[in-house]
DNA sequence: TCTGGGGTCCTAGGACCC
DNA sequence: TCTGGGGTCCTAGGACCC
């Protein structure tokens, strides 16, 4: 048996942790740049605020103070997430951290599943303050369904165990096809056109038909819904094969210099992520784009890739080649809205491939990067950075409603007057 | 005025090898 | 009428997840 623990309205719950007066109030958390709604409290959901809706479309509600909004504070959410995961590790030796707010736990050998799941819910609430729901079943996909079922029908209990054929069918029948893990927008439309409307309908489809229509991925989902486990717990996280860093700008950029600062910062972030997973990359891709929603302004989207002479994770090297790429595609006369850097050809750093005439003299650069990372780790991100990253940051993203970093910054510690 | 960011996996098709 | 058989690697595109 496997359990899925999923935090309720996670970002909204994190914000509420330190502002109890917001309990029972509708609150939303916005995406980067205060763009779209990415998390809603139950009260906000019942006001009809949809996931992903642009913030300006609910401006009235926010202005009239009916809904309280927050910019995303990933430092806070990341820290709370770590605490939740740490707590979960007390309940099972095998925990797969699936996302910032969910984890799968190996439940094999546990006697009273429902009681055990309840104790997880109670403990996380008591130790961390975040409400969670727990779904338990034979496969990961069914555990997801059980979790949803608990959220929908037994919010207070917060736990659902699929441990009988009857319960499995009941849960499948009450799950819409688009709510099945692994079946997204395109597939659910296709399936609905064949009159497959619920998870149960899908579970009755023939394996061959599903494989033809949805490849082995769909076939796995089908089997998992029928209690055949195809997805195992992934306990060790593999190094990333793709690393990308990009942001929209708080305001449009119309000249090269701030754009080059933004690209330098993105390249430095990629380099940092590479160093963190002990990898190097061989290609750097840069992309820039104008505001795709703007009807009046001219549109320009372009990207280009340059290859590094030797694979690297050195910020100086990545910035240097990212700027070479940027110069190739930059054009005057456009209002740029977003830019980013992506790195490819990622391999472990000891797999470095030298050119015929190169000598392996990167010891110095490694030392510098290590020093920089150490200083930034103990003193805060960007304490030490490269000049190309700039000091102006006029391109910086908008986050006007950022909450304090209550748990990670001394000056943001909550003070309580008694 | 204002519309997020970061990933994964799979398949088909083309180019190549012996 | 007839045209081998068995592979690999790479890329683009499409689906999905949070």
If DSSP states are collapsed to H, E and C, what string results for A151-193? HHHCCCCCEEECCCHHHHHHHHHCCEHHHCCCCCHHHHHHHHH
Task: Name the pairing type of β-strands A27-30 and A68-70.
Answer: parallel
**A348 CB less than 7 Å from any atom of strand C:** no
What does the pLDDT read at residue A166? 97
Name the H helices within A42-139. 42-46, 59-63, 74-88, 113-127
**A168 CB less than 7 Å from any atom of strand B:** no
* CA of A407, C1' of B11: distance in angstroms: 46
H-run or E-run covering A243: strand A243-253
Which tokens belong to A99?
A: 């996302």
**A314 CB less than 7 Å from any atom of strand C:** no
Whole-prediction pTM value?
A: 0.91
Residue-wise burial string across A119-150, b where 16 or more C-beta atoms lie within 10 A, e elsewhere: ebbeebeeebbbbbbbbbbbbbbbbbbbbbbb
Domains and CATH numbers, chain A: 2-161 (3.30.70.270), 175-225 (1.10.150.20), 243-389 (3.30.1490.100)
Residue A116 in contact with residue A106, Cβ under 8 Å? no
Residue A34 in contact with residue A63, Cβ under 8 Å? no
pLDDT tens, residue by residue, A123-162: 999 999 999 999 999 999 999 999 999 999 998 899 999 9
* CA of A186, C1' of C14: distance in angstroms: 10
What does the pLDDT read at residue A155? 84
What does the pLDDT read at residue A263? 93
**A295 CB less than 7 Å from any atom of strand B:** no
**Strand C, nucleotides covered by protein (CB < 7 Å):** 14-18
**Strand B, nucleotides covered by protein (CB < 7 Å):** 1-11
Residue A145 neighbours by CB under 8 Å, 6+ apart: A135, A137, A162, A171, A172, A175, A180, A181, A199, A225
Give the dihedral sign, CA A327/A331/A334/A338. negative
pLDDT tens, residue by residue, A237-277: 778 888 889 988 988 898 999 999 999 999 999 999 999 98
**A53 CB less than 7 Å from any atom of strand B:** no
* CA of A344, C1' of C14: distance in angstroms: 20
The confidence band for A171, taking pLDDT boundaries of 50, 70 and 90, is very high
How big is chain A, counted in residues?
418
Backbone torsions φ then ψ of A298, nearest 5 degrees: -65, 145
Residue A333 in contact with residue A252, Cβ under 8 Å? no
The residue assigned the tokens 């659910």 is A188
| Closest nucleotide to A248, Cα to C1' | B4
């Amino acid at each position: 048996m496997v359990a899925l623990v999923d935090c309720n309205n996670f970002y909204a719950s994190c914000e509420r942790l330190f502002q109890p007066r917001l309990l029972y109030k509708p609150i939303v958390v916005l995406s980067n740049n205060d763009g779209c709604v990415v998390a809603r409290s139950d009260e906000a959901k019942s006001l009809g605020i949809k996931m992903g809706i642009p913030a300006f479309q609910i401006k009235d509600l926010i202005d009239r103070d009916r809904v309280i909004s927050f910019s995303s504070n990933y430092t806070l959410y990341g820290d709370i997430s770590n605490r939740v995961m740490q707590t979960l590790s007390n309940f099972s030796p095998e925990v797969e951290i699936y996302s910032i707010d969910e984890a799968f736990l190996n439940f094999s050998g546990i006697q009273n599943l429902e009681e055990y799941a309840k104790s997880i819910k109670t403990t996380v609430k008591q130790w961390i303050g975040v409400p969670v729901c727990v779904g338990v079943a034979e496969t990961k996909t069914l555990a997801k369904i059980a979790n949803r079922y608990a959220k929908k029908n037994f919010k207070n209990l917060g736990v659902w165990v699929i441990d009988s054929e009857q319960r499995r069918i009941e849960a499948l029948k009450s799950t819409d096809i688009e709510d099945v893990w692994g079946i997204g927008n395109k597939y659910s439309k296709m399936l609905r056109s064949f009159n497959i409307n619920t998870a149960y309908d899908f579970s009755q489809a023939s394996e061959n038909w599903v494989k033809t229509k949805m490849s082995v991925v769909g076939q796995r989902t089908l089997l998992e819904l029928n209690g055949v486990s195809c997805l195992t717990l992934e306990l060790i996280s593999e190094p990333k094969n793709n690393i990308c860093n990009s942001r929209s700008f708080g305001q449009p950029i119309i000249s090269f210099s701030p754009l080059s600062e933004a690209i330098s910062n993105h390249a430095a972030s990629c380099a940092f992520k590479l160093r963190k997973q002990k990898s190097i990359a061989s290609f750097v891709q840069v992309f820039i784009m104008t505001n795709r929603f703007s009807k009046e302004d001219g549109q320009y989207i372009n990207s280009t890739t340059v290859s590094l002479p030797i694979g690297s994770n050195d910020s100086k090297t990545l910035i240097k080649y990212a700027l070479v790429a940027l110069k190739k595609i930059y054009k005057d006369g456009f209002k740029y809205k977003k830019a980013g850097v992506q790195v490819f050809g990622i391999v472990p750093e000891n797999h470095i491939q030298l050119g015929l005439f190169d000598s392996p003299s990167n010891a110095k650069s490694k030392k510098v990067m290590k020093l920089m990372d150490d200083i930034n780790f103990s003193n805060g991100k960007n304490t030490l950075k490269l000049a190309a990253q700039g000091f102006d940051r006029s391109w910086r993203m908008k986050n006007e409603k950022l909450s304090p970093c209550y748990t990670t910054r001394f000056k943001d510690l909550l003070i309580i007057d008694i």
